[in-house]
Structure 1
Amino acid sequence: MPQMKKYLFTPGPAPVPPEVLLEMARPIIHHRTPEFSAALDQARDRMKPLYGTRSGEVILLSSTGTGAMEAAVINLLQAGEHAIYVNGGKFGERWGKLLSTFGMIGHEVRVEWGRAARPGQIEDAFKAYPESRAVLVQASETSTCAIHPVAPIGEITRKSGAMLIVDGITSVGVFEQKMDEWGVDAFVTGSQKALMLPPGLGMVALSARAIDAAKTNKTPRFYFDLLKELKAQRDEHTTAWTAAVSLIFGLNKSLELIHAEGLPQVYARHALMAEATRDAATALGLKLIAPDNPAPGVTGILVPEGLDGGKLVKFLRDNLGVSVQGGQDQMKGKLVRIGHMGHLSPFDTLIAVSALELGLKHIGANIQLGAGVAAVQARLARSI
């Protein structure tokens, strides 16, 4: 078989721009130097607009996004305290696992996969568990390609005097986030999605209220001590532990590219790719997992009844060089997820959709080749 060019359309890791790869290929330097301090300071400052915060403090961690989730939990909550968490997918489920691991008492708000949490569910949870100290939710649930209404959830949470902890791993850099306006106290994300980097950096943005809560929190922590990291990064312009030097230089470059494009344009680009993909699914007679509240960073398309989504994903990867992602847990074999994050442009959507059509035909789907591609072209034509 001839060597194939490979295309990455997974929900993460996502494609990395060549400028960022070159920046990370620079000779390594020590992390206790003025050169590194300047890059760290600049990257932390450049992250703030993506979170939608002026007053929050951004902390960079050498970890994946799950490490940032853990850091938020153990710095703001302690054993025996109650918290409400939204479980509408594998990553909402992860909030519950983190809470139980560290001895907190989690109260689940269960949401059907592909649906958004209703603000009334959060209100009901507070009525049932008024002692809850926090609400934990995804802005974008990557496993179901759905978004949750963080703004009204934040309003309810503030009225209850609790903290709001948000997973923004597939929302930060994808669509507008409003940390200050929504009242988010801890907002986490990771490097390998819209930030156009390899995996390895977690980020946590903390409100002043979250920092105060961390000061009185008794949960044991060492590496993920956010107060220690904040002191090092804000006051000493370095990191508490050995830094992921190359990734931080890469982050600074990717943020430079993002701001040069302009955040409104970045968000519009993600929205256009997602809309074009959804149009393609409709044209092919396919259904979406999240039709009413679809995420702009990743689109989930249900595989036709009786066909194996696992075989579809494998065929695309091994025969066409196109990597997408299947479903998780209850959606395994039933769902294909196409990512729109990272170093991608709207025209790349044609590659993803044309490959999807060929793959569907290969596994026996009754579709019209070219119908999805034509729908993408029509959507792109309206944007030119």
Structure 2
Amino acid sequence: MLKDKYRLQIPGPTPIPPRVQLAMSRPMIGHRDPDCSRLVREVSRRLGPVFGTQNPVLLLTGSGTSALEAAAANLLAEGEEAAVVVTGAFGDRFANILNSMRVKVHRLDVEWGKACHPEQLDAFLEQHPRVKAVFLTFCETSTGVLNPIRELVGRVRERTQALTVVDGVSCVGGVPAEADRWGIDILVAGSQKALMLPPGLAFAAVSDRAWNAMETNPHPRFYLDLSNYRKSLEKDTTPNTPAVSLLFGLKEVLDMLDEEGMETVFSRHRLMMEMTRAGIRALDLELLTEDRDASPTVTAVKGGKTWSSEDLRKELRRLGLRVAGGQQHLKGKIFRIGHMGYADPLDVLTTLSALEVALARIGAPVETGAGTQAAEEEWIRVSRADHRSVKQTGN
């Protein structure tokens, strides 16, 4: 295989579109230059529809975890109570962040591979009426679960005065997100997933309720003080030096999303999910999640009885394809296929074809062609349905 050519099908970082790479190669400008101010103003406002907010979106230079910690540090102080819904490794990370701040954490642990459903959250909140904030994970990257955030946030707002913080790092830009309409108080995301950029930028959409809570929160913070980002954004800048090259790339990403149309973007991600799941089933492999809980951006698959997921990943790597492994207690037990951002149905077919070859090469029982055929049939089915819909609407 060509050493410098491979397919990146992990849940992040994800492939970078060539036009975005080209945009990031522009000559550097000063971060206090008027050109940079225009860029900051433009991208922060154009991110609003992606997050479903009327407010400009805050731009942080850091990984997605920096925005998670910023949300916690700005809303809560030592000794206050918070609830964390843990459906995988990144819900667990939310809890660890809060523990490091000496917040009193109440964990709702859900079996990995399953989503949290509103009835579970209802019962849990009744047991913990003093929580000031509820932390939720939209897409749990470690398991491929998409939690029903709209319903979960709605239950929190109906039954408590608690604020809601949502980790949307591995799905914002690939699934509908309506921070304002759903009542999310802080929705955060990162650059290196569905938003098709390298790691290094984090984003936060913040509600008026959250801003009010921050004003009275005594917890010390400096680099992650969101009020400083808000004040700076009012002047079309950032409080600290931003990742300027990534801002160039972000503008290009937003152009791409506008050109495709967000509804089409969401449909493409859902199609890739359905193709992947159809192909995995046709190969007699076991999916970690049920269909109702599945994420359009990442799919988790269990290893076999006679072969390990790590052996399979090594063989796929030899073929020039990268997929991710499991995390924590799922390490060595599953592998994860990313299908988000700069990805399309042909990438799914390539992944399934490589998967068939790799399975055969490690001695696993496999019917070559079964996975790709099932995925192709799903693609054709959806394409025909879309064609009929277009004809019926007369467009």
1:111-260 matches, within 5 Å, as 111-159=110-158, 160-233=160-233, 235-260=234-259
Q: After TM superposition, give the deviation of residue 256 of structure 1 in Å.
A: 1.0
The 8 Å contact of residues 4 and 320 in structure 1, kept in 2 or not, is answered as no
- Secondary structure, aligned partner of 1:135: strand
The 8 Å contact of residues 57 and 207 in structure 1, kept in 2 or not, is answered as no
The 8 Å contact of residues 4 and 321 in structure 1, kept in 2 or not, is answered as no
Match of 2:333 in 1: 334
In 2, the alpha carbon distance for the partners of 1:103 and 1:45 equals 35
Q: After TM superposition, give the deviation of residue 213 of structure 1 in Å.
A: 0.9
Q: Which amino acid aligns with 2:13?
A: P
In 1, the alpha carbon distance for the partners of 2:225 and 2:266 equals 32
In 1, the alpha carbon distance for the partners of 2:4 and 2:353 equals 16
Percent of aligned pairs sharing the same letter: 42
Q: How many residues align?
A: 381
- Secondary structure, aligned partner of 2:107: strand
The 8 Å contact of residues 190 and 199 in structure 1, kept in 2 or not, is answered as yes
Compare 121-130 and 193-202 and name the one that shifted more. 121-130
In 1, the alpha carbon distance for the partners of 2:120 and 2:24 equals 45
1:337-356 matches, within 5 Å, as 337-356=336-355
- Secondary structure, aligned partner of 1:94: helix
Q: Which amino acid aligns with 2:118?
A: P
Q: After TM superposition, give the deviation of residue 306 of structure 1 in Å.
A: 3.5
In 2, the alpha carbon distance for the partners of 1:2 and 1:110 equals 44
1:1-384 matches, within 5 Å, as 2-3=2-3, 5-54=5-54, 56-159=55-158, 160-233=160-233, 235-291=234-290, 292-317=292-317, 319-384=318-383
Q: After TM superposition, give the deviation of residue 95 of structure 1 in Å.
A: 0.9
Structure 1: runs of 5 or more not aligned: none
Compare 122-131 and 321-330 and name the one that shifted more. 122-131
Q: Deviations over 1:124-158 (max 9, x none)?
A: 22221111011101111000000111122112211
The 8 Å contact of residues 73 and 98 in structure 1, kept in 2 or not, is answered as yes
Q: Deviations over 1:70-117 (max 9, x none)?
A: 000000111111011011100000111011000111100010011011
Q: After TM superposition, give the deviation of residue 2 of structure 1 in Å.
A: 4.6
Q: Deviations over 1:44-69 (max 9, x none)?
A: 11111111112x34101000000110
Q: Which amino acid aligns with 1:206?
A: V
In 1, the alpha carbon distance for the partners of 2:352 and 2:278 equals 10
The 8 Å contact of residues 145 and 295 in structure 2, kept in 1 or not, is answered as yes
The 8 Å contact of residues 134 and 157 in structure 1, kept in 2 or not, is answered as no
In 2, the alpha carbon distance for the partners of 1:141 and 1:110 equals 13
- Secondary structure, aligned partner of 1:347: helix
In 2, the alpha carbon distance for the partners of 1:155 and 1:269 equals 27
Q: After TM superposition, give the deviation of residue 172 of structure 1 in Å.
A: 0.5
In 2, the alpha carbon distance for the partners of 1:2 and 1:135 equals 48
In 2, the alpha carbon distance for the partners of 1:167 and 1:65 equals 9
Q: Deviations over 1:221-271 (max 9, x none)?
A: 0000000011101x1111100111001111111111111110000000001
In 1, the alpha carbon distance for the partners of 2:217 and 2:3 equals 54
Q: Which amino acid aligns with 1:369?
A: T
The 8 Å contact of residues 20 and 253 in structure 1, kept in 2 or not, is answered as yes
The 8 Å contact of residues 132 and 162 in structure 1, kept in 2 or not, is answered as yes
In 1, the alpha carbon distance for the partners of 2:59 and 2:245 equals 13
In 2, the alpha carbon distance for the partners of 1:335 and 1:357 equals 16
The 8 Å contact of residues 86 and 137 in structure 1, kept in 2 or not, is answered as yes
Q: Which amino acid aligns with 1:261?
A: E
- Secondary structure, aligned partner of 2:294: coil
The 8 Å contact of residues 306 and 364 in structure 2, kept in 1 or not, is answered as no
Runs of 4+ in 1 over 4 A off after TM superposition: none
In 2, the alpha carbon distance for the partners of 1:101 and 1:162 equals 21
- Secondary structure, aligned partner of 1:189: strand
- Secondary structure, aligned partner of 1:287: coil
Q: After TM superposition, give the deviation of residue 4 of structure 1 in Å.
A: 5.4
The 8 Å contact of residues 308 and 363 in structure 1, kept in 2 or not, is answered as no
CA RMSD of aligned residues (A): 1.1
Q: After TM superposition, give the deviation of residue 379 of structure 1 in Å.
A: 1.4
Q: After TM superposition, give the deviation of residue 336 of structure 1 in Å.
A: 1.2
The 8 Å contact of residues 47 and 56 in structure 2, kept in 1 or not, is answered as no
In 1, the alpha carbon distance for the partners of 2:377 and 2:237 equals 49
Q: Which amino acid aligns with 2:149?
A: V
In 1, the alpha carbon distance for the partners of 2:94 and 2:289 equals 21
